[in-house]
Chains A and B, each alone.
Chain A
Amino acid sequence: MIAAVREFANRFLGRGDATITVPSFDGALKPNQKLESAETLLTCKEPEDLATDGSNLFIADGQRLMSLSGGTATQVRSFERPISALCALPDGSLAVALGGREVSLYASPSAEQPSVTFADPAFNAINALALADDSTLIATDGSATCGVDDWARDLLELNRSGRVYRLDPANKTVTRLTQGLGYAFGACAHGNAMLVSESWRHRLVLVTPGASPRVVLAHLPVYPSRLTKASGGGYWLTAFTARTQLVEFVLREPGYRRRMMAEIDPAYWVAPRLRSGMSFKEPMQGAHIKTMGVIKPWAPPRSYGLVIRLDADGQPLYSLHSRVDGVNHGIVAAIEMGDDLVLIAKGPGRVLKLPLTGLAEEFRP
């Protein structure tokens, strides 16, 4: 009763959960344009995820699995469904999630048949695979109702149906570790627990088997996504898009949201996107007006490019950005390969490379 009254008062006064404030890019998240200076390794239509065995870089591009070595990209194989996640195992095998609904393990990237296939009926939107420290696989499933590419609808429907699974190739079992996450998108082993990105709650949680998730990093101004280990301890956390006050406001407007989803083409929804500025039918906000021929980099981002370097405790050290006037938006994957950081900017469909040397010195506040 009291909770209901408080919620009503909050809604009426715009307080508590009804506030639409978004934290600012500050401290370790201080904006820069470093991602704009990244070298483009490859331009492809639908890059989705990255994996490396140390010498080869594997790229999931739609239904195709590409391999990049020495500057040339070759197609390794193709699947009937789009690849939604990749993970290379230390024994040289490769795990591939297809269409978000099944995960197959191939002994080598070019092996004919999968050695193991996990196709639990509960799988709906497997969007990331990671290696746990006991040689099992961790899979995050964003939503029980919306497909991998339909994440904007999942956000607008305020769904909280993200799950984390443990896949054991040895005895071919699937164990659900947790559920009820606001879009689980990306995981990485952290001791015997795992860090998981909970996108719609803008935070990173630590999932320990048999315990409820513990918040590690909260109040992000972005929607976090895939995580990978960084050399020298710590992690790379990508953020596929950023929050805006308008989207936060629309999330609190059920009437408008319902009609928008029913009446408007999803490309023109008021929702975060991986790329923007493609059509004048996209929603435009006040600060987006081009004044004297310039779009302001601080305008509210409909799409944004960001990768955050976390320390071993999951706290941010520094970050690399592509701001509103930039192109390399929608960073969904980042992986270290040798002395470089390789990233996928899904917005423009690019695989990017940034040398790691000097990054920390340049951007650590």
Chain B
Amino acid sequence: MRDTLTSLRYRYWPDHLLGEILSKRWTETAIPVILLLIIGLALSRSIDNFLSPASLADTARQAGEIGFIALGLALVVIVGGIDLSVGSIFALTDFCALYLLDVLGWPVPAVVVATLLCGALLGAVNGILVGYLRLRAFITTLITLIVYRSAYDLLIQRYSNAIASAFPDIPSWDFIGGGSVFGIPTVALVYVVIAIFGHIFLTRLRPGWHITAIGGSRRSAYNSGIPVRRTIALCYVASGVLTSIGALFFASRLGTVGGDIGVGLEVIVLTATVLGGITLGGGKGSVAKSAVGVLIVLLITNGLTTMNARGGVNRMALAGILLVAAMVDIRWQKNRTRIISKVYVAPTYHALPPPPPTEIGQGGPFEQNDKLRNVESIGLGRIEAPEDVILDRHDNLYAGSRHGDIMRFLAPDYQTMEVFAHIGGQPLGMAFDRQDNLYVCIGGMGLYRIKPDGTVEKATDETNRSMRSVNDDSRLRLADDLDITDDGLIFFSEATVRYEMDEWPIDGLEARGNGRIISYDTKTGATRTELRGLKFPNGICVASDGQSILFAETFGCSIKRYWFAGPKKGAVEVVMDNLPGYPDNINLASDGNYWLALVGMRSPSLDLAWKMPGFRRRMAKRVPVDEWLFPNINTGCVVKFNEQGKIVESFWDLHGENHPMITSMREHRGYLYLGGILNNRIGRYKLDNADPNFVQYDKRWGKLS
């Protein structure tokens, strides 16, 4: 009963998605967006006409003006600084525009250009001080805030009357502030254009990357040859220009130079920036975040104003939000990776019936024996981590090594070892094709082809991305074993799509179907995912009927058959289940049966833990990996099974001294060669009554040997 509930709970509740979603970069934008939607919804319900076109257009105008300033501040914050003087720059450039237009009577285009120049100049002062003279951004811009504000106060004392008494009637000027295209205010349109450019600039263009790099680590950026000082200075200039754009629209819309223009603007913009998710420490941020932050802040302030809140309340609310947002931001940045690593591991319910007996005297097909005790060792201490072994028709022996090489031991005595090919990743399963090319699965890299002369070629390293996966599963993470059909179709297993090769124990701890079987067509070069949701699929072997493959699910403790052709095409059928150990590679035997390596044996304590996902989740959090309950892969065995899934024979090594671990085996001319991924040797065992001329892939391809 309890187990049934647990099993249902883990089958239908996708625990693993939380970690996958959190590890996506877009979650940091998604959270402000959700906040925005919630606030928008709440306000539209409590305030009448909140979503009317007129109200929306008004919000859009304000959003555009503040949005420009927020964009500028975003740049400065991303580069690792802060600009408090934006409010004063806003006021000064607003004055500049109106003075030039109303008092000096300049033409509109000239006014626009001059205002932008003025903004650039004011920003450049910050830029030179912070960028080149390396003053602290906070104190520098605080000072310029005061200086600019004082200048503005002096100027308006003299000219405010002149500006206030002028009523210029210039259509192009009015269009800037009040015009609209298809009902959308000009300012919003211009903002969108600049925002799109800003997005491309930050994410796709070199200077944008430089800005992010400097914000991330100023010293590293400098060491990489990025002109740090100039870039920082230019960010302040850009901030000034963007602020002046906002000021231009404001000037055109209202045409006033009141004393409180731009006062407290920096708090609004800063709140928007932090609320949008742009980290104050620098190095992280985007245009979308800035825009979302502005909208949230505007909705809140407008909402409060509509609800007749006083100005003080309004500011206090903003300051409160800024404080909370900055706090959340700092905690999140600090703990992000830790939180993700804690929630990413999501064990699930995995129940196996009690295993068949293996003890001596208990009988049964898995009864232990000591047949493998006298296994000879090849390359003892010279080869490391031969997961799979294969022999060519000249009896040379090939094996992978953890140094990323395919090693070749030369027949007949296997004393000479040479590097056959260097690939760079851990070689796992291997198979020869009709043209004697060696196809190898490389953990972390994909499927590779090695020509008889030792040239390495990539066959494939990606497949189609599945629509329902949150993680991008198009890249191959852990290609494991393969076999080739008569039509030149290669089926290979990918053990897990959630973890890297060295993280296989975590996949075992999860015991979820994270793996898949993929096909690669040697004729067309197309790669396609055939099956997914498998529990660590491992060994693969094309069955004798030529229409199906047999594959092992290591943590599923089962062997299954998948029809890729014929009348049952697409069907999957269990051949053997509830094995007493963890099945690994499968290969053809000379008598038409199949060899299967059990890489490890099941233990009751882990079987029980697999039924208790909560226990394993807490273990993953509290206990270091070295101390986790593991699948026991120190002892294993080789079994031979037939087409019907019946065990014919088993080969054990009781003490595991000659050959501690068995991940694969290959029959060749009367001998069985054994590979083990954590071994420093290759095993060789003389088989009784085996075909002395059997060469696996020569028999497959109908060649004489």
CB pair A253 B605 closer than 8 Å: no
Knowing A253-B615, A283-B606, A293-B660, the reply to whether A270 touches B629 (Cβ < 8 A) is yes
Is the CB of A101 closer than 8 A to any CB of chain B? no
Give the number of residues in B that approach A within 8 Å (Cβ atoms).
Answer: 38
Is the CB of B304 closer than 8 A to any CB of chain A? no
Q: Mark B601-625, 1 if CB is under 8 A from A, else 0.
A: 1111110110010110011011111
A residues less than 8 Å from B384 (CB atoms) = 292
Nearest 8 CB-CB pairings of A with B = A283-B605, A284-B632, A280-B635, A287-B626, A280-B601, A292-B680, A286-B626, A264-B604
| Bound form: Cα–Cα A287–B606 in Å | 16
Is the CB of A56 closer than 8 A to any CB of chain B? no
Shortest A17–chain B CB gap in Å is 13
Chain A residue with the shortest CB-CB distance to B628: A286
Q: Which of B608, B629, B678, B681 contacts A285 (CB 8 A)?
A: B629
CB pair B630 A245 closer than 8 Å: no
A residues less than 8 Å from B262 (CB atoms) = none
A residues less than 8 Å from B621 (CB atoms) = 14
Is the CB of B627 closer than 8 A to any CB of chain A? yes
Is the CB of B425 closer than 8 A to any CB of chain A? no
CB pair B628 A290 closer than 8 Å: no
Q: Mark A289-304, 1 if CB is under 8 A from B, else 0.
A: 1111100000110000
Interface centre among A14, A264, A269, A285, by most chain B C-beta atoms within 10 angstroms, is A285
CB pair B678 A268 closer than 8 Å: no
CB pair B605 A270 closer than 8 Å: yes
Shortest B352–chain A CB gap in Å is 13
CB pair A289 B603 closer than 8 Å: no
Knowing A289-B630, A292-B680, the reply to whether A269 touches B605 (Cβ < 8 A) is yes
CB pair A255 B612 closer than 8 Å: yes
B residues less than 8 Å from A280 (CB atoms) = 600-601, 603, 632, 634-635
Is the CB of B81 closer than 8 A to any CB of chain A? no
CB pair A20 B678 closer than 8 Å: no
Is the CB of B645 closer than 8 A to any CB of chain A? no
Is the CB of A263 closer than 8 A to any CB of chain B? yes
A residues less than 8 Å from B505 (CB atoms) = 286
Chain A residue with the shortest CB-CB distance to B636: A280
Interface residues of B (CB under 8 A from A): 384, 505, 600-606, 608-609, 612, 614-615, 618-619, 621-635, 656, 660-661, 678-681
Knowing A293-B679, A293-B681, the reply to whether A287 touches B627 (Cβ < 8 A) is yes
CB pair A286 B612 closer than 8 Å: no
Is chain A's interface secondary structure helix, strand, loop, or mixed overall?
loop
B residues less than 8 Å from A270 (CB atoms) = 605, 629
Chain B residue with the shortest CB-CB distance to A281: B603
Chain B residue with the shortest CB-CB distance to A247: B627
| 25 interchain pairs, CB-CB under 8 A | A20-B623, A244-B627, A246-B628, A256-B615, A260-B608, A263-B604, A264-B604, A268-B603, A268-B604, A268-B605, A270-B605, A280-B635, A281-B601, A281-B632, A282-B603, A283-B629, A284-B630, A284-B632, A285-B628, A286-B505, A290-B660, A292-B679, A293-B681, A299-B626, A300-B626
Shortest B208–chain A CB gap in Å is 41
CB pair B608 A256 closer than 8 Å: yes
Interface centre among B604, B609, B660, by most chain A C-beta atoms within 10 angstroms, is B604
| Bound form: Cα–Cα A208–B624 in Å | 40
Shortest B657–chain A CB gap in Å is 9
Knowing A292-B384, A292-B679, the reply to whether A286 touches B630 (Cβ < 8 A) is yes
Q: Which of A244, A264, A300 contacts B605 (CB 8 A)?
A: A264
Is the CB of A288 closer than 8 A to any CB of chain B? yes
A residues less than 8 Å from B629 (CB atoms) = 246, 270, 283-285
CB pair B680 A245 closer than 8 Å: no
| Bound form: Cα–Cα A246–B619 in Å | 8
Is the CB of A265 closer than 8 A to any CB of chain B? yes
CB pair B678 A284 closer than 8 Å: no
CB pair B681 A284 closer than 8 Å: no
Which A residues from 276 to 326 make CB contacts under 8 A with B?
280-293, 299-300
